[in-house]
Amino acid sequence: MAVTLKDVAALAGVSVKTVSNVVNGYSFVKPANRKLVEDALVATGYRPNIGARNLRRGRTGFFALMVPELGIPYFGELAAMIITAAHERDRNVLIEQTWGQRDLERSTLASLGPHLVDGAILSPEALEAEDFALLGPDVPVLMVGEHAVEARLDRVAIDNVLAARTAVEHLVRLGRRRIACIGENPRRGTSAMRLQGYREALADAGMPADAELVAPAVNYHRRDGAEAMRALLELPDPPDAVFCFNDMLAVGALRAAAERGVQVPADLAVVGFDGSEEGAYSTPTLTSIAPDKAAIAERAVERLTTRIDTGLPHESAFIQTPFVLEVRESTAGRRA
Amino acid sequence: MAVTLKDVAALAGVSVKTVSNVVNGYSFVKPANRKLVEDALVATGYRPNIGARNLRRGRTGFFALMVPELGIPYFGELAAMIITAAHERDRNVLIEQTWGQRDLERSTLASLGPHLVDGAILSPEALEAEDFALLGPDVPVLMVGEHAVEARLDRVAIDNVLAARTAVEHLVRLGRRRIACIGENPRRGTSAMRLQGYREALADAGMPADAELVAPAVNYHRRDGAEAMRALLELPDPPDAVFCFNDMLAVGALRAAAERGVQVPADLAVVGFDGSEEGAYSTPTLTSIAPDKAAIAERAVERLTTRIDTGLPHESAFIQTPFVLEVRESTAGRRA
DNA sequence: CATCGTTGGAGCAACGTTGTAAAGGCAAGT
DNA sequence: ACTTGCCTTTACAACGTTGCTCCAACGATG
């Protein structure tokens, strides 16, 4: 059986509470007793029972992290960093995957009772504003990334409109004339912001907004990017540049270009979004908007923990994190 | 505040225990009372306090999953599937990342007390056999993937030697004559098995085992693959094929080849290991050994839960899961 | 009519921890 | 010597749940 405070106390010859005090670093314990207890702790190999402690404290010490899918590199990396940041604050992370499905996102939201987790970090894809009624009133939650929903929640994200503009302005500066984008999807929050940035950049450059250059994507997987790119390449007047709303779409686009014998970047410049390491090693390497994921993870966990610890419903904030445009081969040089 | 059994009982006008019985589907409850309780449950929105329940039951309902790094696609995807499989059995998964460092793996092992988790699924990279002494005697654990350690534990994995042989035999059959490999590393369990398969395949083909064609890799990231490949390409008599011990190494190798202007597959055939989706979209697409990750996840979780539920220290088993060789462009056709 | 078994329900205690309050010890001040 | 006050330690209760034991009511049986 597991070692409890009682066992340690018996060995050390003190009360259970004194052991508890030592374990928690609390109050004043006489050095002699402290030594006794510490020796007993080592001898028994005591480990606190988290469940019992949390029961007593009324906290669970757990966060939920709701993401579409860990197998997507962006979310895998983000989850990795969030777990690390949470551990630094003695919290554990429970990962809930929703596969981008609204019903799974809804049921996840509804399950965020105060018993299971102290709070949650959400990265929804299909939630509507009304769904947030499912949330318990006292559950601190926070969103990472942009989302169309207008919930009154804390958010940690980069400026998606600006980032998208930056990407497209880069293409404009290269002299590209027919700049397409891939990823339009009314049900995805990120889509709206990135589309807006794309349009703003085109407008600023005095370029027409050609509807046939805006390629939709149901999901943001490589397959979707490849399909969208194939469709774009079959246009009578195909694009000479494409801005993809994430790196996986961009990798798919590179593949479709390779299949068609379209040279990147000579015939087609490609920009992605996420700054994934995959893009740094693809052929050609991929220019991409790289959000500072470590900053997102750190700020998100920091904000959530302080909100939990203070318990007060302060103003909900938008915490903006930095990004950079990583320029690589897929947009190298000028048009041939 | 959270709703407790007491609240529900007060509303329904029955005892706490009766509510508990209804919640757990236990014993015989008079239909009238059952109805009363169920209505009260709905009205209050009761959710059981997991911590209290686990405290009482002596179980936590949590697994630990120890992996090097979620940001690595293979482990991200595997974690995704393990979480799903665990949820189907009403368990939650706590993810511990070790970044392949032995000290972090050791401390994770040591922290697997009976208090925090009921059991653990391990994917160590640097652990030595002696480290398993850190494990509590009653903690059910299971390893996924091959590892050099000879611990007496359940293991779920593919036949790594056979898989590696299959990959190299494929290269032999293509007519390749100087077949290199990337990933040799005495501190990694997988390395030994895959190296053995590589050597067996060469021996079977009557080809010499040239030590300079065995490229080491400290880590198994893209960067390491690229570095190793650059070194191989600088040999006086460079290889015409390379078997990489995982897909990320292979992607790095593709990149190094592209930089040097080496044509894949004409000048160099490349085989990876993991069957990652990244390899299905790289340029050229990557031939790879694809383990059935879903089967690994399912069998691992199944085995661990039954071991926890029965509590008996049955014979430790090696559960073998299938794999296939996905043949793609990086090994297409014969040598030019 | 007494006994018994069956069915439905309830009370108590305990899981391991920590907050509270109170008790014990000791030294300095009256 | 006796109070006062501080430092240290302790007993107790409680967090929410469930296993166990016991109780009540009932119909069936001898």
A225 belongs to a structural domain: yes
A171 with A252, same domain: the answer is yes
Decide: CB of A25 under 7 A of nucleic strand D. Answer: no
Residues 69 to 88 of B: which have CB under 8 A from any A CB? 69-73, 75-77, 79-80, 83-84
- The more confidently predicted of residues A45 and B196 is B196
Query: Residues of A from 12 to 31 whose C-beta is within 7 A of strand C: which are they?
Result: 16-17, 20, 23-24, 26
Q: According to the model, what pLDDT value does residue B148 have?
A: 63
Q: Return mean pLDDT, chain A.
A: 91
A309 with A256, same domain: the answer is no
B153 with B297, same domain: the answer is yes
Q: For residue A60, give the chain B residue with the closest CA.
A: B51
A145 belongs to a structural domain: yes
Whether the pLDDT of residue A59 is over 90: the answer is no
Q: According to the model, what pLDDT value does residue B23 have?
A: 87
CA distances in angstroms from B76 to A78, B88, B95, B126, listed in the order given: 11, 19, 11, 19
Residues 204 to 223 of B: which have CB under 8 A from any A CB? 221-222
- Whether residue B115 and residue A47 make contact (CB cut-off 8 A), yes or no, is yes
The mean pLDDT value for A178-205 works out to 94
Give, in Å, how far the C1' of C3 lies from the CA of A327. Answer: 92
A32 with A73, same domain: the answer is no
Using CB atoms, pick whichever of A97, A113, A285 lies closest to residue B47. A113
* Protein-contacted positions of strand D (CB under 7 Å): 7-12, 14-20
Q: According to the model, what pLDDT value does residue B240 have?
A: 96
A297 with A154, same domain: the answer is yes
A10 is in which domain, residue-wise? 5-48
CA distances in angstroms from B140 to A282, B78, B117, B119, B149, listed in the order given: 41, 20, 10, 5, 17
CA distances in angstroms from B29 to B32, B36, B43, listed in the order given: 8, 11, 19
Q: According to the model, what pLDDT value does residue B335 have?
A: 43
- Whether residue A70 and residue B79 make contact (CB cut-off 8 A), yes or no, is yes
pLDDT > 90: what percent of chain A? 63
B88 with B233, same domain: the answer is no
A251 belongs to a structural domain: yes
A336 belongs to a structural domain: no
- Whether residue A49 and residue B115 make contact (CB cut-off 8 A), yes or no, is yes
Decide: CB of B57 under 7 A of nucleic strand C. Answer: no
Whether the pLDDT of residue A27 is over 70: the answer is no
A145 with A169, same domain: the answer is no
A43 with A186, same domain: the answer is no
Q: In CATH, what number is assigned to the domain containing residue B64?
A: 3.40.50.2300
Structure-token match 């497209």, residue found: A168
A191: alpha, beta or left? (left if phi > 0; alpha if psi -120 to 50): alpha
Per-residue pLDDT of chain B (336 residues; tens, 9 = 90+): 678 899 998 888 888 989 998 888 776 788 888 888 889 888 888 888 888 888 888 888 889 999 999 999 999 999 999 999 999 988 889 999 999 889 999 988 888 876 788 899 999 888 888 888 888 777 889 999 877 666 778 999 999 999 999 999 999 999 999 999 999 998 887 899 999 999 999 999 999 999 999 999 999 999 999 999 999 999 999 999 999 999 999 999 999 999 999 999 999 999 999 999 999 999 999 999 999 999 999 999 999 998 888 776 667 889 999 999 999 999 987 544
Q: What is the edge-to-edge ordering of all strands in the sheet holding B179-184?
A: B214-216, B179-184, B241-244, B269-273, B287-291, B323-326
Decide: CB of A87 under 7 A of nucleic strand C. Answer: no
A165 with A175, same domain: the answer is yes
Question: Count of domains in chain A?
Answer: 3
Q: In CATH, what number is assigned to the domain containing residue B16?
A: 1.10.260.40
Whether the pLDDT of residue A166 is over 70: the answer is yes
- Whether residue A83 and residue B69 make contact (CB cut-off 8 A), yes or no, is no
B19 belongs to a structural domain: yes
A19 belongs to a structural domain: yes
Whether the pLDDT of residue A40 is over 50: the answer is yes
B9 belongs to a structural domain: yes
B77 with B153, same domain: the answer is yes
A106 belongs to a structural domain: yes
A281 with A226, same domain: the answer is yes
Which of the residue ranges A231-235, A252-256, B190-194, B282-286 would you say has the lowest mean pLDDT? B190-194
* Residue A177 token pair: 């004339």
A173 with A151, same domain: the answer is no
Q: According to the model, what pLDDT value does residue B312 have?
A: 64
Chain A residues in contact with B115 by the CB 8 A cut-off are 2, 47-51
Q: According to the model, what pLDDT value does residue B313 have?
A: 65
